[in-house]
Amino acid sequence: MKNKVGRDIPDSMFKTVLKGAEVFQGVNYRDGYVYKKASPTVSGYCAFRESKVAGSLKEAIEKTGLKDGMTISFHHHFRDGDYIVNMVMDAVAQMGIKDITICPSSLTDCHDHIVPYIEDGTITGMLTSGLRGKIGEAVSAGKLKKTAWIRSHGGRVRAIECGDIHIDVAFIGAPTSDVQGNANGLGGKSNCGPLSYAEADAKYADKVVIITDCLVAYPNKPSSIKGIDVDYVVVVDEIGNPEKIASNMLRMTKDPRELKIAKYAAQVIANTEYFKDGFSYQTGGGGMSLAVSQVLSQYMISKNSRMGFAIGGVQKPLVDMLHDGLVGRIVDCQCFDAAAIQSLETDDNHSEITISEYANPLNKGCFVNQLDYVVLSALEIDMDFNVNVTTGSDGVLRGALGGHVDTAAGAKCTIIVAPLVRSRIPTVRERVTTVSTPGETVDVFVSEYGIAVNPRRGDLMETLKESGLPIYTIEQLKEEAYQLVGKPEEIEYRDEIVAIVEYRDGTIMDVVRRPAPYVLDEMVQI
């Protein structure tokens, strides 16, 4: 069955994995969709309990009743410094529990440690936004027993609230917690800022375990995770590597090509109708994104324009703009560096929001819907402006949906930034390997060779004609890329589907097939 972006979703899938699902039918297909929120199973606490602190992680797991076939969840606020996923999966494996589906908000290279648990059947399912590194390679090689399910940040919290995902036990790493489980991302030795991704897990999971390396006096207020939702607290020596959690290493790119792209992107913003006092904005945490923010700030100063609010993953350039009076407020669901964490802790105009507030398409109004601009990256973009951030050009899982699809859908002007060619592989191509974000939600593509405006946005095209920017059609940029490095070869696939890419509203955007030949030769050793 073909969906609206022309991707063929096998009919057989709807008899097994996709029971009750629909194919993607457009960005606003489920506008007005009516549903009842799911609810967890809750154990009452009528009798006085001085503390919920368990003697060990193993004890807490035993008390939750975790058994074969259940689903457990994690958050990724600790990024490359996370110890929680590996710690919990080591304990689960040692206890002999099998057939576990894990539901992390994302996975990074630091979680390569769990690959052997995929091979031995401890982990058989994955529900996540990102599959990278050895984990992505293992899933692409067909090592995971069940089909992986890839959702955006907004799509994940929607699925939890709708009941499409049921979490049996949520394991939440917390920089601080009290004995009742009131937990925060600030005030400890492993500060991460918000705990936004974990908020829905705490509210909707049947059992909730807080894992902390800093037990503080009761009550730990304000708290991101409320003790009323928590069953057990575990104190460990370390929940993560503070240097990798609160990195100071984010730096603006010095690559001339990327600086050129950043300059063009800022010019696009400065020459559109939404660039006026009080506009809203989000960008990512990469070096090129940081450069866009820095260049944009100069345009704001020159035009006496102030940003009303900024959202998303926050990093130092946005914090600097807040403190310089160029941004009115930052609303934050993830801190990318130490400067952002400190700002959240000390500045009243920098506040935490939940992921449902941030990006859930089926609530009554999320923040991404109030965005004027979002600047996003891409692995590939095609003639219909569809974007791939999920798989590499070899078809292997190497990326994450994150908030890409959510912000693209919500923003008035979605700008994709990427070099025309990356590692002698064209970024612009006839057809992307995997559709992550539909072209319906993409407005402008910016490369070092020039920009292309989606034909859907004739208004932007007219405005930008007077900007002096080098404007081309997307077809012209594709031809330029092919002239530089040649037309990419078609990928051969097996029939096996290793992952499903879901649109944020719950409809099916694409499937990821197992590349052929593709064999994972080396497993990660524990």
Say if 15 falls within a structural domain.
no
The count of structural domains within the chain is 2
pLDDT single digits (tens) 130-151:
899 999 999 999 999 999 999 9
**Do 418 and 350 share a domain, yes or no?**
yes
pLDDT single digits (tens) 499-523:
999 999 999 999 999 998 766 655 4
pLDDT single digits (tens) 30-72:
999 999 999 999 999 999 888 999 999 999 999 999 999 999 9
DSSP 346: H
pLDDT of 525 > 50? The answer is no
Residue 198's pLDDT band, with cuts at 50, 70 and 90, is very high
Say if 60 falls within a structural domain.
yes
pLDDT of 477 > 60? The answer is yes
Residue 21's pLDDT band, with cuts at 50, 70 and 90, is very high
The answer to whether the beta carbons of residues 168 and 70 sit under 8 Å apart is: yes
Say if 453 falls within a structural domain.
yes
| Percent of the chain residues past pLDDT 90, beyond the cut | 90
Residue 299 tokens read as 């345009």
What is the per-residue pLDDT for 247? 74
Say if 8 falls within a structural domain.
no
**Do 331 and 429 share a domain, yes or no?**
yes
**Do 266 and 194 share a domain, yes or no?**
no
What average pLDDT does the structure give for the chain? 95
Decide: helix, strand or coil at residue 312: strand
Containing domain of residue 87, as a range?
A: 53-245
**Do 230 and 286 share a domain, yes or no?**
no
**Do 233 and 106 share a domain, yes or no?**
yes
Residue with tokens 């799911």: 38
**Do 218 and 262 share a domain, yes or no?**
no
pTM as predicted: 0.96
Buried b / exposed e over 118-139, threshold 16 CB at 10 Å, is: beeebbbbbbbbbbbbbbbbbb
Residue 253's pLDDT band, with cuts at 50, 70 and 90, is confident
Domain boundary among 216, 245, 274: 245
Mean pLDDT of 404-420: 97
Say if 324 falls within a structural domain.
yes
**Do 268 and 235 share a domain, yes or no?**
no
34: which residues sit within 8 A by CB, 6+ positions away?
none
What gap in Å lies between CA 447 and CA 265, rounded to an integer?
9
**Do 328 and 227 share a domain, yes or no?**
no
What gap in Å lies between CA 253 and CA 288, rounded to an integer?
6
What is the per-residue pLDDT for 249? 53
What gap in Å lies between CA 268 and CA 256, rounded to an integer?
18
The answer to whether the beta carbons of residues 139 and 397 sit under 8 Å apart is: yes
HEC string of 4-48?
CCCCECCHHHHHCCCCCCCECCCCCCCCCCCCCCCCCCCCCCCCC
pLDDT single digits (tens) 204-252:
999 999 999 999 999 999 999 999 999 999 999 999 999 999 875 556 6
**Do 361 and 475 share a domain, yes or no?**
yes
The answer to whether the beta carbons of residues 250 and 285 sit under 8 Å apart is: yes
The answer to whether the beta carbons of residues 386 and 432 sit under 8 Å apart is: yes
What is the per-residue pLDDT for 49? 87
What gap in Å lies between CA 209 and CA 205, rounded to an integer?
10
pLDDT of 426 > 80? The answer is yes
**Do 133 and 220 share a domain, yes or no?**
yes
Decide: helix, strand or coil at residue 480: helix
456: which residues sit within 8 A by CB, 6+ positions away?
440, 443
**Do 239 and 265 share a domain, yes or no?**
no
What is the per-residue pLDDT for 312? 79
pLDDT of 101 > 50? The answer is yes
| Percent of the chain residues past pLDDT 70, beyond the cut | 97
CATH label of the domain that carries residue 334: 3.40.1080.10
The answer to whether the beta carbons of residues 330 and 350 sit under 8 Å apart is: yes
Domain boundary among 215, 245, 275: 245
Say if 10 falls within a structural domain.
no
Say if 140 falls within a structural domain.
yes
pLDDT single digits (tens) 322-371:
999 999 999 999 998 999 999 999 999 999 999 999 999 999 999 999 99
**Do 147 and 221 share a domain, yes or no?**
yes
449: which residues sit within 8 A by CB, 6+ positions away?
420, 470, 472, 477, 480
Half-sphere exposure for 460 (CA within 13 Å, toward CB): 24
Say if 130 falls within a structural domain.
yes
DSSP 53: B
